[in-house]
Amino acid sequence: MRLKLCLISALLLSLAISANAQNNEPWYHSTTIYQIYPRSYYDSNGDGIGDLPGIIQKLDYIKSLGYETIWLSPFYKSPQVDFGYDISDYTDIAPEYGTLADAQKLIDETHKHGMKIVFDMVMNHTSDQHPWFKESMSSRTNPKADWYIWADKPNHWSSQIRGTGWHYCKERNQYFWASFLPFQPDLNYRNPAVKKAMFDACRFWLAKGVDGFRLDMINSIYKDSLLRNNTASRRAVARSPETKKYRSTIKGSLNQPETFEFAKELRAVCDSFGDRMLLGEVYGTHPVVKEFLGGQKNNGLGLVFNFEMLRFHYNAKYFSKLVANLEKDFPAPYSPVYVFSNHDRRRSMKRLKDDMARAKLLHVFQLTTRGVSCMYYGEEIGMSDLQIPYKDALDPIGQKYKKVPRWLSELFDETLNRDDLRTPMQWDNSANAGFSTSAKTWLPVNPNYMQINAKTEVKDENSLLLEIQALLLLHKRNKVLHDGSLELIPKQPHGVLAYKRKLNDQEVIVILNFSKKPKEVKLSGTPNSLYQIHKTDKYDAGTVHLSALGAMILGK
Contacts with ligand GLC by CB under 6 A lie at 82, 85, 122, 180, 216-217, 281, 343-344
**Cβ at position 349, least distance to ligand GLC in Å:** 19
The residue type of 513 is N
Residue 146 annotated as catalytic: no
What is the closest distance, in whole angstroms, from the C-beta atom of residue 512 to ligand GLC in the complex?
29
Q: Return the number of the residue (337 or 464) whose C-beta is nearest ligand GLC.
A: 337
Whole-angstrom Cα Rg for the chain: 23
Side chain identity at residue 337, one-letter code: V
In terms of C-beta density within 10 A (0-12 exposed, 13-18 middle, 19 or more buried), how is residue 528 classed?
middle
Count Cβ neighbours within 10 Å for each residue of 315-327 and write b for 16 or more, e otherwise: ebeebbebbeebb
CB distance 317 to 286 below 8 Å: no
CB nearer to ligand GLC: pick between 122 and 549: 122
Structural contact between residues 387 and 346, judged by C-beta atoms closer than 8 angstroms? no
| Nearer Cβ to ligand GLC (217/512) | 217
Cβ distance to ligand GLC smaller for residue 279 or 521 = 279
Considering the candidates 43, 211, 216, 380, report the single residue annotated as catalytic: 216
Q: Compare residues 107 and 215 and give the one whose CB is closer to ligand GLC.
A: 215
Q: Helix or strand or coil: residue 305?
A: coil
Verify whether residue 281 is a known catalytic residue. yes
In contact, 70 and 36? CB cutoff 8 Å: yes
Closest CA to 80 of 59, 108, 50: 50
Residue 343 Cβ vs ligand GLC, minimum distance, rounded to whole Å: 6
Q: Which lies closer to ligand GLC via its Cβ, residue 73 or residue 478?
A: 73
Q: How many CA atoms lie within 13 A of 95 on its CB side?
A: 2
Between CA 117 and CA 122 the distance in angstroms is 16
Strands 212-215, 150-151: pairing is: unpaired
Q: Helices in 151-256 by DSSP H: which ranges? A: 192-207
What separation in angstroms does the CA of 3 have from each of 27, 252, 457, 526, 546? 30, 56, 17, 20, 17
The answer for 382, left when phi > 0, alpha when psi is -120 to 50, beta otherwise, is: left
At its nearest, how many Å lie between ligand GLC and the CB of residue 195? Answer: 19
Q: In sequence order, what are the beta bridge partners of 302?
A: 278
Q: Residue 44, Cβ neighbours under 10 Å: how many?
A: 20
Nearer to ligand GLC, 347 or 360 (CB): 347
Q: Which residue is nearest to ligand GLC (CB)?
A: 85
What minimum distance in Å lies between the beta carbon of 105 and ligand GLC?
Answer: 26
Q: How far is CA 27 from the centre of its chain?
A: 17
Residue number with CB closer to ligand GLC (82 or 483): 82
d(CA 197, CA 269): 13
Is 373 in contact with 32 (CB distance < 8 Å)?
yes
CB of 179 to ligand GLC, least distance (A): 8
Q: For residues 69 and 482, what is the distance between their CA atoms, to the nearest angstrom? A: 14
Q: Which helix (H) or strand (E) holds 255?
A: none
Give the nearer residue to ligand GLC in terms of CB position, either 181 or 480.
181
Please state, in angstroms and rounded to a whole number, the distance separating the CA atoms of residues 394 and 54: 22
User: Quick one: 491 exposed, middle or buried, by C-beta within 10 A (0-12, 13-18, 19+)?
Assistant: exposed
Instruction: State which residue, 180 or 330, has the beta carbon closest to ligand GLC.
Output: 180
The minimum distance between CB 84 and ligand GLC, in angstroms, equals: 9
CB of 285 to ligand GLC, least distance (A): 18
Residue tagged active-site, from 281, 380, 457, 537 = 281
DSSP 272: T
SS3 at position 163: coil
| Residue from 215, 227, 223 nearest 283 by CA | 215
Cα 443–chain centre separation: 21
Three-class secondary structure of residue 555 per DSSP: strand
CB of 176 to ligand GLC, least distance (A): 16
Q: How far is the CB of 340 from ligand GLC (least distance, A)?
A: 15
Amino acid at 520: E
Hey, which residues are catalytic here? 216, 281
